[in-house]
Amino acid sequence: MERTLILFKPDALQRGLAGRILTRFEEKGLKIAGMKLMQITPELAAKHYEAHKERPFYPGLVRFMTSSPVVALALEGIGAIAMCRKLMGATFGCDAEPGTIRGDFGVSRSFNLIHGSDSPEAAEKELGLFFPEGLVEYEAAAYEWAYDPVEELGREV
């Protein structure tokens, strides 16, 4: 199983989209391993976006991400990172395909509703930043119905 960090950004919360966005991930069969409503501090934003520190958009990005609460979500599933990125859609809502989160709800080039880890290495780092207390371990009953137990989960039925 693979884990990834998803952030519902301030615009998603302020627009009342958190529930609708969460539903898409759950309906796809992903397991919630951690979830919290939080206010990102400037220090956390600086750590999370350190790769963009020299970019001209960095100050505005930090200001935006600290302007309102976010939902931090740890999701788990086979191929979770790629699956989540497909569900999210292209970075800018105006470029995203209909049926994706950004394609259905986004229009801005600045406010793009959601963040998702782009690699296993990024996911590990980001999950550590947003869930330093760790994640919740449990058996998801839905896995038996979302994945082939023998072929994908390695379990006998």
34-87 per-position pLDDT tens digit: 999 999 999 999 999 999 999 999 999 999 999 999 999 999 999 999 999 999
Residue 98 falls inside a structural domain: yes
Residue 34 falls inside a structural domain: yes
Residue 156 falls inside a structural domain: no
CATH of the domain at 24: 3.30.70.141
Q: Note the pLDDT of residue 157.
A: 63
Which residues are identified as catalytic?
A: 115
Residue 150 falls inside a structural domain: no
Q: Note the pLDDT of residue 76.
A: 97
Residue 142 falls inside a structural domain: no
Residue 138 falls inside a structural domain: no
Residue 154 falls inside a structural domain: no
Task: Write the CB contacts of 134 (distance below 8 Å, at least 6 apart in sequence).
Answer: none
Smallest Cα–Cα separation from 128: which of 72, 60, 52?
A: 72
What is the count of structural domains for the chain? 1
DSSP state of 92: S
Instruction: Give the structural domain span for 58.
Output: 2-131
Backbone φ and ψ for 31, nearest 5 degrees, come out as -95, 135
Smallest Cα–Cα separation from 49: which of 61, 38, 63, 39?
A: 61
Which residue would you say has higher pLDDT here, 154 or 69? 69
* Residues of the chain above pLDDT 70, percent: 98
